[in-house]
Structures are given as structure tokens and as C-alpha cells.
Amino acid sequence: MNRVVVRYGELSTKGRPVRRNMEEQLRSNLAAALDARDIDGEVERTAGRLIVETDATDAAADAASALPGVVSASPARAVAPEAETIYDALADLARERADEFDTYAVRASRAGDHPFTSPELEREGGAAVGEAVDAAVDLEDPDMTFEADVRHQVAYVFAERREGPGGLPVGTQAPLVALVSGGIDSPVAAFEAMRHGSPVIPVYVDLGDYGGVDHRARALSACERLAERAPNHDLRPYVVDGGASVDHIADHVDRGRMLSLRRYFFAVAEAIAEQEDAAGIVTGEALGQKSSQTARNLQVTSAAVDTPVHRPLFSADKPEIVERAKDLGTFEDAGISAGCNRLAPDKPETKGRLEGLLKVEPDDIFERAKEDAAGAERVDI
């Protein structure tokens, strides 16, 4: 193997200049990802694909398939676009992986002028594999699919497609501030924003006596997982010392406490968004997931800020979010104790109304939010 073929999806439907920019963004993201993993390789844009020239095809394919915008990546062998050469390469590949399959199929795709057709390649290529190893053709449900992707000047031969997250490359949208608690939901929500092009600026609010050091640790480790998916963007989180403000809220607000807390979070996030010229706020909230996330309560909390609040998990079910957290690598840490339940009142509000909350909520929480945001430190991860 000497190449990795990297495929992308959505961006191939955009108009030409937009698409060019997006491809260039993905190319530089991938080059940075290889760098971050100490993989030597050159990334090149070719018609509809990125090609990595490298000896470390396995590691490079893993790096590529972690990046937003990538649909799939295949360790491949680049050979001359001639029929016999392609059949030999298919047979070699089949021998290398002989103990991994009993049934197989050969698929070919072709662009350019060649003295052969794709069906011909599939038929003859299939025969070459059959001679090389002891296995049977199964076009319906093969254990392994060998593929030849034949272009003008070169043919790529490969036997696997490692799935990527799809979406759009990070950096093709304006940045967003992501409120990250380190629980199950918020890292997944932040990644959804990244998966559609926005670099995120993570913000973690330390709840003081209501939080804990392990809270902070799990939030930072979630941010690390996010940063790995966009090594050429600045994903260092802001850690906000919210302890005093949270105590203040807890002293004054009982039933609607979690709503005022969220309103304070949003105000902190808005202040940081202004400072960073970010285009909005992302949270891990989902409709009805907990008492602070009823439709009424989302209305009351969103009213705290003018900046748009995005909720990529709005309609996602918990088991689905858990699966995505596992894929992202943030599920394990989310298991660490969730002490902030101490802050929740016995009878939390589920049908919050702004007029009612404003009667008890201290007026100064927004001023405090600005001050707390201004004092926040951006930490290295």
C-alpha cells in the first residue's frame, strides 16, 4: 500500500468556487492531522478525492476517517491504469488478506479513456482473485469487496472503506461557542457543530462547591477529544470560575434555579462569543430530556441572550447520543460522578415563565456573567 484515497460527500454538491475552498480546507485539515500524528505524507487534491501519498497507509487512513467532511478513507495501492496490472494488484491484495474472507466481490469504477470497461474489470479482476486465493464470489453479501478506482493516469486498488463522520470540513463555517460540561450530551453537540464546519470554542463553567475537580477534568478531556478532530484550529477551552455566581443564584432562586443557572451560562457564552467573534452558542440540550429542557424552559433560557442558541441534539434520543459519544471517545469520562445534581431543587420548574422567574432572579447575574467571562482563562490541553 502506498496511498490513501479520501472521499468526501456534501461538498461535492456545492458550486465550483465554494467547493474548491472546501476541498482546500479539507486538504489542510488532513495535512495537519497527519502532522499531529507524526505521519509522513503528502496530501493532494484530485478530481473529487484527496489522495495521501504515504508509507503509513493504515495510520493515515485512521487519521483521515476521524475528520469532519470525510465520508470514507481507504488504504490503497496506486498502479498504472492498465488491465493486467490492475488484475495483478487485486490478486496480490487478495493474497495478503486471504485469511480474512471466504467470499468476495470485485467492484470497479472508471473515469477517462481506457481500452476496457468497468464490467470487464470486475469480471476479469474477480477471476484473478479466484485464482489467487481459495474463496467464492458472492455479489450480494461478500465478506470482502475488492475495488479498483481507475482514473486517467492512475488506478487505485483497495479492499476497505473506513467510514468517516461525513458533513463538512471544520473551518468552512464561522466559529461557535460550545458550552461543554463533560457530560454525555454536550461533547456530542459540540462535535455536531464541528461536523458541519464550525470550529468550536469550548466553554466550561466551574460550579465551585457544586462542581468538583473531577468535573473539570472530564470536561477538559472531552475538549481534548474534540481538538483531535481539528488539530489546525484553536479548540483550547475557556474555563470560567462560576462558583460565586452560582452560590448567588442558589441563594436567591429556588424552583427556577436551574433556569437561572442556564441563563447565566448563556450570558457567559455570549460574552465569550462577542470577544471571539463567534456566530452563536451550542448546547447539548434536548427537548424533554430533563426538567430544565422542557419546551417552556428552553423558551425562558434562550430569552437570556440575543445570540442564537443552537441545540444540535434537540430531537435526538439518549441511546443514539450515547452511541455517538462512544464513537467520539467521550463516553467513558462522562461516567465520572455528576455532582451538580446537588444544585437542583427538590421540585424543579418544568413550565417556566419569564415574568415569574424575573421576580426572583437577581438582576446582576448578567453583569456577573460578563465579569466571570472576562476573567476566564483559556487552558492548554
Contact residues: ligand ATP, CB under 6 A: 179-181, 183-186, 203-205, 207, 265, 283-285, 290, 338
At its nearest, how many Å lie between ligand ATP and the CB of residue 328?
Answer: 12
| SS3 call for 84 | helix
| 125 vs 280 by CB, closer to ligand ATP | 280
At its nearest, how many Å lie between Mg ion and the CB of residue 306?
Answer: 24
| 57 vs 181 by CB, closer to Mg ion | 181
Q: Which three cell numbers stand for residue 75?
A: 488504504
DSSP state of 196: B
| 207 vs 373 by CB, closer to ligand ATP | 207
- What residues make contact with Mg ion under the rule CB under 5 A? 185, 284
Residue 202 in contact with residue 169, Cβ under 8 Å? no
Q: How far apart are the C-alpha atoms of 279 and 358, rounded to whole Å?
A: 27
Cα–Cα distance list, 32 to 36, 40, 162, 219, 371 (Å): 6, 11, 19, 24, 35
Residue nearest to ligand ATP (CB): 183
At its nearest, how many Å lie between Mg ion and the CB of residue 268?
Answer: 18
CA 164 to chain centre: 9
- Pick one of ligand ATP, Mg ion, none as the site partner of residue 57 (Cβ within 5 to 8 A by kind): none
Torsion of CA 318, 161, 140, 95, to 10 degrees: -140
- Pick one of ligand ATP, Mg ion, none as the site partner of residue 71 (Cβ within 5 to 8 A by kind): none
At its nearest, how many Å lie between Mg ion and the CB of residue 289?
Answer: 5
At its nearest, how many Å lie between ligand ATP and the CB of residue 158?
Answer: 38
| SS3 call for 125 | helix
Residue 30 in contact with residue 51, Cβ under 8 Å? no
Residue holding cell 495510520?
Answer: 59
At its nearest, how many Å lie between Mg ion and the CB of residue 284?
Answer: 5
Radius of gyration, CA atoms only, the chain: 25
Residue nearest to Mg ion (CB): 185
| 298 vs 357 by CB, closer to ligand ATP | 298
| 11 vs 226 by CB, closer to Mg ion | 226
| 73 vs 207 by CB, closer to ligand ATP | 207
